[in-house]
Amino acid sequence: MATVTHETVRTGRGSEILLLVIAVGIGIYAYVQVALNMNGVAPERITLQAGAFTVLAVVVHLLVRWKAPYADPVILPAAVALTGIGLAMIYRLDISYTELGRPSGFAPKQLVWTVIGMGAATAIVLFFTDHRVLRRYTYVSLVAGIVLLLLPMVPLLGKNINGSRIWIGVGPLTFQPGEIAKICLAVFFAGYLVDARDNLALAGPRILGLHLPRMRDLGPILLAWGVAIVVLVAERDLGTSLLFFGFFVAMLYVATERVSWVIIGLVLFGGGATLAANFFPHVMARVEVWLHALDPEIYNRDPGGSGQVVQGLFGMASGGLTGAGWGKGLPHLVPYANSDFIWASLGEELGLTGLLAIVSIYLVLTQRGIRTGIGVRDGFGKLLCAGLSFVMAFQVFVVIGGVTRLIPLTGLTMPFMAYGGSSLLSNWIIVGLLLRISNEAREPAAVPTGPFPRVDAVLAARRASDDVAPPAAPAAPALPAAGMPEPDDNPTEVVDLR
């Protein structure tokens, strides 16, 4: 039985600033270590740089404190820590690249993108007072997402880099629109599924204990599958295809609670992947590299050899348990050491200990996202949190899994850490959205003054919890009129459902 207690809700701002100091400290420490170990001296103008980075973080914190005082206190520091570690590694590789006369200067660009990303996150917190506004743009998001995904296929605009056509370029600027597309599609899935979930969940026959959907409800998942296949075939981008389809299936599951959707999704993806592996040489090559990376024949094959993967493994192996230390390894020996293979670079210099710590940060960050979804009251918010958290975690899984040969290597970037403006921007937008939603989730309602506060609260709690929603309840209204509160929009007290 739910009990209702009056308690002072902690905003968590104190925890946030404390964690933020630690997160900023990790980044600055890494940066100074790199400079000391590689150049023998602390970076020039270190006080200024460290000060600027600290001020940036503190400003974001203060704005969050102002506009979203109940936002989750862990999300922002976790993202700052990851970004800082990534920046330090990119800077460290810049030094090696400069010594070797290779193109360098990635760290300043990444820093600019960090500022843009953090700015975007802050803007979301400042100007989006209610995440439910996004629900109005469900189908706009779909169109935007698909357009962004397919943009690289436009002649002249699209760029083919390293065999994948996932970039667009205007002059010297390149961008991976797929990174932003994943947010658009998360908004669409959340908006669409919150409406369609009952049909998807409840209609349809039961076969062998599995609740199968009706054929006509299969449309969206087939569409998603189709788009994933198109991305795979036309853009030769295994990673985005996998990511996109994976998180759609995950959101379908959250919306419907039907394992059958997961099974259908896996079967579709498995079928598609098997076909792709057999009919597309670049996919086949990836699979061979995955299974037989150390074979000399595969290792020496060019193009499509495993040299890159194996070099990454060598780097990680040489890092061992404790790593070489910032600036003391040879991560520049691995191709794409600051982007696709930043995991190997970090493994070489920070060792297993460092990598496990970083995975833990990702774990905390994504779990806070899920936690936000559990806490928020509206179904759209729940689905959006699930989608955004899952897509981030899944991307980490695909990237690290590829580098460590858990799954075939695909060309995705490590959220927050890898060099790349589009990825950094999109992940900071996710941080902004999660901060905004978590404020809704954690904000207590004003203490009710009515004669029967307990009853009100319990009713509100019932409405808030979709788990006990009566099946006969009508599907949520498609597009509520602006300003009209939704049924589950009532502020409530803190409800302890233990």
Contact positions toward other proteins, by CB under 8 A? Answer: 250, 253-255, 257, 294, 299, 310, 313-322, 330, 333, 347, 351-352, 355-356, 359, 362-363, 366-367, 370-371, 373-374, 379, 382-383, 385-386, 389-390, 393-394, 396-397, 400-401, 404-406, 465-467
One-letter amino acid at 71 equals A
In terms of CB distance, is 143 or 294 closer to other proteins? Answer: 294
Distance between CA 225 and CA 431 in Å, rounded?
27
In terms of CB distance, is 113 or 397 closer to other proteins? Answer: 397
In terms of CB distance, is 175 or 245 closer to other proteins? Answer: 245
| Least distance from other proteins to the Cβ atom of residue 5, Å | 20
One-letter amino acid at 54 equals T
In terms of CB distance, is 326 or 362 closer to other proteins? Answer: 362
What per-residue string of b and e applies to 300-310 under the rule 16 or more CB within 10 Å gives b?
eeeeebbbbbb
| Least distance from other proteins to the Cβ atom of residue 299, Å | 7
Residues 293/309, Cβ–Cβ less than 8 Å:
yes
Distance between CA 105 and CA 397 in Å, rounded?
28
In terms of CB distance, is 250 or 283 closer to other proteins? Answer: 250
List Cβ<8 Å contacts ≥24 apart for 484-488: 486/132, 486/378, 487/463, 488/377, 488/378, 488/379, 488/463, 488/464
Q: What are phi and psi of 71, to 5 degrees?
A: -60, 155
- Cβ contacts of 333 within 8 Å, gap of 6 or more: 311, 314, 315
In terms of CB distance, is 397 or 419 closer to other proteins? Answer: 397
| Least distance from other proteins to the Cβ atom of residue 343, Å | 8
| Least distance from other proteins to the Cβ atom of residue 370, Å | 4
| Least distance from other proteins to the Cβ atom of residue 153, Å | 30
In terms of CB distance, is 57 or 365 closer to other proteins? Answer: 365
| Least distance from other proteins to the Cβ atom of residue 31, Å | 20
| Least distance from other proteins to the Cβ atom of residue 346, Å | 10
Distance between CA 492 and CA 464 in Å, rounded?
9
One-letter amino acid at 47 equals T
- Cβ contacts of 135 within 8 Å, gap of 6 or more: 187, 190, 191, 194, 380, 479
